[in-house]
Structure 1
Amino acid sequence: MFRIIDFIAAFLGLTILSPIFLAVTILGFFDTGSPIFIQTRVGKNQREFRLIKFRTMAKDTESVASHLASKSAVTKLGNILRKTKIDELPQLINVLKGEMSLVGPRPNLFNQTELMDERQKLGVYDVLPGITGLAQIQNIDMSTPKQLAQIDKQMIDTLSVRNYFRYIVLTVMGSGSGDAIKPGK
């Protein structure tokens, strides 16, 4: 049932939000010269897929988890996109393709081995990764792998249609601060 909701919502979202996609893409060309960011992530059953986002950091930024990235790598436009969570919108394409769900555990990088181990133990990779979920609205990011895996498992075990829409609404209403960036630099 969630797959049908995901597909319809992603299709409608891409259609309705296409003017925003166009505007951010144009602005992104002026900001970094490359507005789209594609990165290999860990998906369902630990299969790799290519996550699509709007670029928020300089093109030469090292491919690490956001909490390990330097604050100075985030561009001016990128800062706005992150605060408004608009940088996540292209993931609707991943949802449409069946690689992600609107709600699920955030997909990690393959070099996040501690998180991968914790998630593997709890069966988190048995479901599609998502754009948002319980951890995101509670501001739990990938810097605390064990806690994140436990919250992901809790979300999976308690996911209902009500909670699915609740997580989406809370995210749209501003709950959660988005991916954390290393402070100071």
Structure 2
Amino acid sequence: MGERNMLKRSFDFIIAFLLLSAALPVMGVVYALVRFKLGAPALFKQQRPGLHGKPFYLLKFRTMTDERDGEGKLLSDHLRLTPFGQLLRKTSLDELPQLINVLKGELSLVGPRPLLMEYLPLYTEEQAKRHLVRPGITGWAQVNGRNAVTWEERFERDVWYVENRTMLLDFKILFLTVKKVITSDGVSNGAHMTMPLFEGNARNQEG
């Protein structure tokens, strides 16, 4: 197990370094466009749970404005997500800064996507297994539905990955991810631009 983890970490670091080096000119252009169209800061930074739930700050390019209502509350996603932001999400260009998280060892290239910190107490014991491995930029759930599946289906696929992960499976997921990005398959979930908020499992809310 330790040897496999070391191999995966070495692979992550080398590939992330090469990708980041190649993507720097593109990231520079995206950074400038985000600053021009959405304002500062160009980077979105949010605390997410990592390996064993340990928090870290996930990096992405901003895709939404900071528009608020009369009471100072942020408007809903679909009102703040601009056509430019939609393009960044459709092409996954907003995800490029996460290569920095991979270099730092906070993310893997492949693993369950890191969600929100407030979801941690809402998981069942089975669903919490998704935190037994380092989270990833892409994962089994992303290439099997992405945002177009239910939370329960997404968690089932995350746990399946944890229990069946191999380097060969990681290569398959990376290949399928490129295919998904090209076709923009599963970017939205029905009327939501992203996944709706996870409010826990029905059995967790009873009583």
Using structure 1 for the length normalisation, give the TM-score.
0.85
Aligned to 2:73: none
Aligned to 1:169: 175
Contact residue 45 and residue 125 of structure 1 kept, 8 A:
yes
Aligned to 2:56: 49
How does 1:39-118 map onto structure 2 within 5 Å? 39-60=46-67, 70-113=77-120, 116-118=122-124
Counterpart-to-counterpart distance in 1, 2:190 and 2:80: 10
Counterpart-to-counterpart distance in 2, 1:117 and 1:48: 16
Offset at residue 122 of structure 1 (A): 4.7
Counterpart-to-counterpart distance in 2, 1:164 and 1:133: 8
Contact residue 83 and residue 177 of structure 1 kept, 8 A:
no
Please identify runs of 4+ aligned residues in structure 1 that moved more than 6 A. none
The reply to whether residue 12 of structure 1 matches residue 12 of structure 2 is no
The reply to whether residue 144 of structure 1 matches residue 153 of structure 2 is no
Counterpart-to-counterpart distance in 2, 1:27 and 1:156: 37
Contact residue 103 and residue 168 of structure 1 kept, 8 A:
yes
**Corresponding residue SS for 1:49:** strand
Offset at residue 156 of structure 1 (A): 1.7
Tell me which amino acid in the other structure corresponds to 2:31: T
Gaps of 5+ in 1: 62-68
Change (3 A) 1:156 1:112: same
Counterpart-to-counterpart distance in 1, 2:64 and 2:88: 10
Aligned to 1:178: 187
* Match of residue 35, structure 2, among 25, 29, 32: 29
Offset at residue 112 of structure 1 (A): 2.5
Rg (Cα) greater in structure: 2
Aligned to 2:163: 157
The reply to whether residue 129 of structure 1 matches residue 145 of structure 2 is no
Contact residue 148 and residue 186 of structure 2 kept, 8 A:
no
Offset at residue 143 of structure 1 (A): 7.2
Using structure 2 for the length normalisation, give the TM-score.
0.77
> Which has the bigger relative contact order, CA under 8 A and spacing at least 6?
1
Change (3 A) 1:181 1:80: farther
Counterpart-to-counterpart distance in 1, 2:25 and 2:165: 32
Length, aligned pairs only: 176
